[in-house]
Chains A and B, each alone.
Chain A
Amino acid sequence: MRVLLVEDSSRLQMSIGKALRKSGYTVDTSGDGADGLWQAESNDYDAIVLDIMLPKLDGLTLLRRLRQQGRRTPILLLTAKDTVADRVDGLQLGADDYLVKPFALQELLARVQALCRRHYDSKTNYVEIADLKIDLTAHAVMCAGQALELTAREFRLLEYLALRRGQIVTRSEIETHIYNESADLMSNAVDSAICTLRKKLENTGSPQLIHTKRGLGYMLKEPS
């Protein structure tokens, strides 16, 4: 999952960014509204965590412009403005959630996760495909009755495929949502990661769930 964090407090940017990355998200950060808008327009994010009082361009204007462009990326407003009027303004402009500073980190992570799920029309934290069971909250995977040990990146890949089950997911989409721009992304990194994940699933005796669509990408679905 790829998240954009637009926050002018460098300390908060650093702390929240770290928490999101440690929770398995790919995180881009921005310290002002103009840059945040540019990033939001340039990339496809699963969620945006947005401060309201920002230099150059305030968060509400940024939000309005994104919605006017028809972008439906889930947006969580994270702000010190705590009045009912502020919340109503934010939600009426198209924000999906509103969290007031100071906040509990776990609550922020839970809300971001809920927004990402909503982005893929998933209402639960539990995904089940054939004998594959994924607990998105606990980051636990069971396949054919066995617990799978996955790295953080492998889990993010499986989670992304699972949330888009039945759909073809292109390599570039996987690169965008799973890998940081700054990361050293090798040309076959996605293929390699898919291969590793597929092996781990097959080692449990489970039928093949990750299907390759030649020239298009990959699809996670129940065996036909």
Chain B
Amino acid sequence: MKSIRQQLTLMLLLGFGLLLVLSCTAIYFFTRVALFTEFDASLQAKALAIMALTEQSSEGVRVESSNAFFQQLNHDATHQFYEVWQTNGTLCARSESLGGTDLPRPSVLPIAPSFWNLNLPAGHAGRAIGLRFTPKSEDENAGSVAPLEVMVVVAADRQAMNRTLDILALVLVVTGLLTLITTVPLVKFCLRRGHAPLDQLARQAAVITADSLQIRFPVDSLPQELRPIATRLNDLLGRLESSFERERRFSADLAHELRTPLAELRTLAEVELAWPDGGATEKHRETLNIALQMEAMVTRLLELARCENGMISLHLELVAIAPLVETVWQPFANKAKAKQLIIHLQVPPDAIIHTDRTLFRAILTNLFSNAVEYAPQNGQMKINWQSDVVELTVSNTVHDLNAADVPHLFERLWRKDKSRTGGDHCGLGLAVSQAFAEMLGLNLQAQFCDESTLKLTLRFQGS
């Protein structure tokens, strides 16, 4: 399983370890170079001093070894060594510390001063400088003597320096390891502290269930990096809450719409069986009405389900609007007349659209049915077609709806009356109409023209 904390821990430890190794190595080598440079400078100074105290005469090369400098060299007999010889191999001088032995001579005599490591006669590690030079002449008639080349090698025991470097290496390794070991819990602690808001967010998210979608993450108390995430999560929760609430309401409304007629049917039958009192025709009529009510609702639910699952195939054709509107309106004319509705029908005879006649007819039926049902007594109803913008509007006066209800009008099973009394309109008509409209590429919208007039507009999208 991928863990950001584990990955960060690993990467930080690896990075820190690498930096530590590089730092320690750099410290060691810079210190070593510095020590060697100083060591070499000391060797070179001694070699130059010997060079200055070496003279050539007609008798050969002579080193002024009685000088205080040589006394000091010989005084440190176990650590300081020197040897001077002519390039032809003739020994000129050597330190007492060599005990009569020679220093290891380089196979190639360097022209420029050069340094090398070597094993000293006592078996100790040492370092030496080799310097080839021509000694100055002590005779006034120097020009009569052929100049000789002399090689001086000065060596010194470097065990002390090696010990210093070993101790430094040991200190660096031990310190580095201790630092690395200490860093592991420190990094973990820091990451845990750093991830605490994320863990808190995760804990808060873990307790959110379908029943507690009203919970929101406290954005202000979160670190800046997590605020956008929490804000998006809150937005998501808001949408989920609305969606769940809609689904819950739909389920509850559906249960009511199905349970009530079922209860009516069952009770009617049980009462009639227990206490028959004749009047069978009336009972049968009631039974039929209940069955028709349930059938209508189930049919609409199935229409919605088929529509949402793309199971309705379209048969597009040219449809004349005026005769279709007239045909669809006929079944509602009597009810409109009984309610003394004032009807304004304005559909040009030449209005034609390219659509599916069956679905378009179903939409018109729902719109007219709703308008007639919810228009108050002596109310008004207008059916208007506008060819220029290709839209049909059905508007009617209402008495118990307002603008706040508009967003709910197309929700499945929504009813203004929360008691859901009466079963003729269960609140599926507009939901079905909108689903059909979308299939036909139409846009069905509702709005209030004024405080008491609801207008439903069916418009071709893009028109």
**Is B271 part of the binding interface, using a Cβ–Cβ cutoff of 8 Å?**
yes
**Is A104 touching B270 in the complex (CB atoms < 8 A)?**
yes
**Is B267 touching A12 in the complex (CB atoms < 8 A)?**
yes
Q: What is the predominant secondary structure among interface residues of chain A facing chain B?
A: loop
List of B residues within 8 angstroms of A16 by Cβ = 267, 271
**Is A58 touching B418 in the complex (CB atoms < 8 A)?**
yes
**Is B259 touching A8 in the complex (CB atoms < 8 A)?**
no
B232-260 to A contact mask, C-beta < 8 Å, 1/0: 00000000000000000000100110011
Q: How large is the interface on B (under 10, 10 to 19, 20 to 34, 35 or more residues)?
A: 20 to 34
Nearest-Cβ distance from residue A61 to partner chain B, whole angstroms: 11
Nearest-Cβ distance from residue A22 to partner chain B, whole angstroms: 5
Q: A18-B275, A103-B263 are known contacts. Are A53 and B255 too (CB-CB below 8 A)?
A: no
Nearest-Cβ distance from residue B421 to partner chain A, whole angstroms: 4
List of A residues within 8 angstroms of B419 by Cβ = 8, 32-33, 53-56, 58
Chain A stretch 141-191: residues in CB contact (< 8 A) with chain B: none
List of A residues within 8 angstroms of B263 by Cβ = 9, 12, 80, 101-103
**Is A15 touching B255 in the complex (CB atoms < 8 A)?**
no
**Is B274 touching A101 in the complex (CB atoms < 8 A)?**
no
Task: Tell me the bound Cα distance from A151 to B167 in angstroms.
Answer: 119
B267's partner among A33, A53, A55, A105 (CB-CB below 8 A) is A105
A100-140 to B contact mask, C-beta < 8 Å, 1/0: 11111110000000000000000000000000000000000
Task: Tell me the bound Cα distance from A80 to B6 in angstroms.
Answer: 54
Nearest-Cβ distance from residue B301 to partner chain A, whole angstroms: 16
Q: What is the predominant secondary structure among interface residues of chain B facing chain A?
A: helix
**Is B388 part of the binding interface, using a Cβ–Cβ cutoff of 8 Å?**
no
Nearest-Cβ distance from residue B381 to partner chain A, whole angstroms: 25
Task: Tell me the bound Cα distance from A81 to B252 in angstroms.
Answer: 7
**Is B271 touching A53 in the complex (CB atoms < 8 A)?**
no
**Is B256 touching A22 in the complex (CB atoms < 8 A)?**
no
**Is B417 part of the binding interface, using a Cβ–Cβ cutoff of 8 Å?**
yes
**Is A82 part of the binding interface, using a Cβ–Cβ cutoff of 8 Å?**
yes
**Is B149 part of the binding interface, using a Cβ–Cβ cutoff of 8 Å?**
no
> Nearest CB to that of A20 among chain B residues?
B271
**Is A105 touching B417 in the complex (CB atoms < 8 A)?**
no
Give chain B's interface residues, CB within 8 Å of chain A.
252, 255-256, 259-260, 262-268, 270-271, 274-275, 286, 290, 417-421
Add 14 more A-B contacts to A11-B268, A103-B263 (CB < 8 A).
Answer: A9-B260, A9-B263, A9-B421, A12-B264, A19-B267, A19-B274, A22-B271, A53-B256, A53-B420, A55-B417, A58-B419, A80-B260, A101-B263, A105-B267
Give chain A's interface residues, CB within 8 Å of chain B.
8-9, 11-12, 15-16, 18-19, 22, 32-33, 53-56, 58, 80-83, 100-106
